[in-house]
Structure 1
Amino acid sequence: MSDPSSAVEAPRRRPDTGARRGRNAVKTKAAILAAGRAEFAERGFEGARVDAIADRAGANKRLLYHYFGNKEDLYGAVLLDAYQEIRRGERELSLDQYEPVEAMDRLVRFTFRHFLANPWFTKLLSTENVENARFLKTLPDIPALHSPLVGQIRTLIERGGAAGVFRRDVDPVQLYISIAALGYFYVSNIATLSVIFDKDLSSVSMVQEREAHAVQMVLDYLRTNRG
């Protein structure tokens, strides 16, 4: 028998350090974006601190600068990521597979629920409006993100018009602004409105009532016939 001790040990496979670094970089960048989202939503652009963002992300501040440049660039990346997220959700609705009324119902509910589930989004948009959209204006990807949405709504209106269930004279941009406003205003003002009307507008029953109201308002508008 051969002596096992004399057997040549197979060489150990070296870990793929390049792949590991790549995975770590993706995770670190995602953590910094999430931390930036929270910090900017809570404190606005002026009040946010890079040190605080790095601490939230559990990342070295030098990595933050390495991946995102500076505070302004990070804020722009957070803003772009926020819009990409909601546009991604809208695409995943696959509205073309539904009849016009159901498709519009789903779009209104998704928009309302997105604002409700992500209160940081309304805060971030409020911050950018305080800044007079000065960062949004510098993001070249924004028009391309919104064009498909407008086209999708236009197609829905046309399909509904052809089926005799929607008006044909509806501006898709105006319609989307109204849809977004129904969710945005409710979520961004939920605390003050709850006090004013002495009702807990964050309760499940009130949220469900408001969502149904938003859907009904949009569908009633689309179904209105003007001679």
Structure 2
Amino acid sequence: MAKEPTGGGEERLRDADRSQSTILAAARDEFAEYGLAGARVDRIAERAGLNKRLIYYYFADKEQLFQAVLEQAYSDIRAEEATLHLAELDPATAVRRLVEFTWDYFIAHPEFLTLLNSANLHKARHLVDPDRARQLNSPLIESLATVLERGRRDGIFRGGVDPVQLYVSIAGLAYFYLSNSHTLSAVFGRDLLAAKARSERLSHMTDVILGYLFLHD
């Protein structure tokens, strides 16, 4: 077993945090490239520039490491979403901002999509703590629920919209397009990742979501 970092208490904690952050970043890239089944701890150690024994000091096995990477990925996107302050915006702007953010985040973090693919392949068994999973997602859903209710009271949004269903629709519109962009581009004979196509997709997604929410005469 690897030895714990030496030094004073605070320094030891900082070293441990740095080591774990380095391991998680390397593991994220490894899992994103090879999936859970194809990932190798040897390569993760090489990517991190650390001794493999140190990885096993912090994480019992590859499964636990994948779980930590997955939870970190969810924590990262939720932290970014929190900076949107959706509940402070007018309802239409808040929904538009969330659609734009989700699209841009998925494009900027393709590893997030591939990690989700791998997690779903294994039936989400690595999200073993349902309370922890809810904690990672509930702030966003609560903010979205507030936005939807305010929009209903203002007379611009329809009532009875489930914030979970709405978020799944927003994420799904972006996720399917980006996850399947290569096959879709080949089938339709269009480069769906070209700048113009991405801009058109975002406009389409926004129109679909807001078109569903807005009350019409």
TM-score between the two structures when normalised by the length of structure 1:
0.88
The equivalent of 2:67 in structure 1 is: 76
Q: Which amino acid aligns with 2:57?
A: H
Alpha carbons 1:116, 1:183 under 8 Å: kept: no
How far apart, in 2, do the equivalents of 1:97 and 1:146 lie? 19
Aligned-residue CA RMSD (Å)? 1.7
The equivalent of 1:125 in structure 2 is: 116
Matched, 1:153 2:170: no
Q: Deviations over 1:5-63 (max 9, x none)?
A: xxxxxxxxxxx942444333222211110111111111111111111111111111111
* SS of residue in 2 equivalent to 1:169: coil
Q: Which amino acid aligns with 2:82?
A: R
How far apart, in 1, do the equivalents of 2:133 and 2:182 lie? 30
Q: Within 5 Å, give how 1:51-70 maps onto structure 2.
A: 51-70=42-61
Q: Which amino acid aligns with 1:47?
A: G
Q: Deviations over 1:60-113 (max 9, x none)?
A: 111111122221111100000000011111111011221100011001111111
- Cα distance change of structure 1 residues 203 and 123 upon mapping to structure 2, 3 Å threshold: same
The equivalent of 2:212 in structure 1 is: 221
Please say which structure displays the higher CA radius of gyration. Answer: 1
Q: Which amino acid aligns with 1:80?
A: E
Which residues of structure 1 form unaligned runs of 5+?
Answer: 1-15
How far apart, in 1, do the equivalents of 2:184 and 2:22 lie? 34
How far apart, in 1, do the equivalents of 2:128 and 2:57 lie? 24
TM-score between the two structures when normalised by the length of structure 2:
0.92
How far apart, in 2, do the equivalents of 1:38 and 1:80 lie? 14
* Structure 1 position 138, deviation (Å): 4.0
Matched, 1:199 2:193: no
How far apart, in 2, do the equivalents of 1:138 and 1:102 lie? 34
Alpha carbons 1:158, 1:168 under 8 Å: kept: yes
How far apart, in 2, do the equivalents of 1:24 and 1:144 lie? 27
Which residues of structure 2 form unaligned runs of 5+?
Answer: 1-5
Alpha carbons 2:170, 2:209 under 8 Å: kept: yes
Q: Percent identity?
A: 47
The equivalent of 1:7 in structure 2 is: none
